[in-house]
Amino acid sequence: MTTVPPVTPPAVVGAGSVRAPLPRRPGGTNVRLGVLGFGSFLAVLEAVPRIGLVSPEYLPPASEIAVALTRLLGEQTFWTATGDTLRGWFVGLAIAVALGVLLGLVIGTVGVLREFTASTIEFLRPIPSVALIPLAVLLFGTDLRSVLLLVVYASFWQVLIQVLYGVQDVDPVARDTARTFGLGRLARIRYVTWPTALPYLLTGVRLAAAVALILAITAELIIGAPGLGNAIGTAQSGGAVAEMYALVVVTGLLGVAVNAVARLVERWALAWHPSVRGEVAA
């Protein structure tokens, strides 16, 4: 697992402070530049094997990969593998988010627990999830549970660390005011802690969503659990190079889709936040 340091959401700089949104290019210009960049990438991918810089046996032209991808879209086994990957990704991410939010709020709001668990968290967090593959295989074999073990472990830390930082960023004045007005612990969490921690949480979820997809495919590729990773390994061992690259393209498209959905959810959940309102207005 690649350790990602805590990320401060763009709009949250400190307690009660808001960073002004950066100037942005017009939407049409961004789209045109993105399409031009991707088209240039495809042109290079088409030209490199055809002019002999790389053997087509190892890197087929983009047109051949597109043909293989079109053929895959008509096969039921492809959709079954995609469904297996998405199931492992979604279930693992959901478990990681639930645990991260629950433990993050409990640990973050109880000072003794925060100090008691700090060294343990810093010890466990850097352990790469792939190092747990032998343990996962020993416990669950090639079952979906092996994938879930790796996905949950990798994604959990992204969410937990962000929630902890969000809880620590609560304005002390607001917290003390809520306590003075007689709000209980749950009420303070709901009305004071949660609105401050939510931008951090959504940043953690967005990071965790990408990490979860990476670990799901990695687990399938190495362990042999059903899914796109297993299909990539099968295509590679069978010499179906164009099909292998087509499957890799699919995993990339899934990553783009996951990131886009995470950003949409972030914008919807933070519609009340000044940074999102300012971004929409811009």
CA separation for the pair 175, 255 (Å, rounded): 39
CA separation for the pair 105, 3 (Å, rounded): 21
pLDDT digits (tens), the chain, 282 positions: 444 445 544 444 343 444 444 455 555 677 788 788 888 888 998 898 888 888 888 889 999 999 999 999 999 999 999 999 999 999 999 999 999 999 999 998 888 998 999 999 999 999 988 899 999 999 998 889 999 999 999 999 999 999 999 999 888 888 888 888 888 878 888 888 888 889 999 999 999 999 999 999 999 999 989 999 999 999 999 989 999 999 999 999 999 999 999 999 888 888 876 666 555 444
Domain ranges, ordered by start, for the chain: 61-281
pTM equals 0.81
CA separation for the pair 37, 43 (Å, rounded): 10
CATH architecture of 61-281: Orthogonal Bundle (1.10)
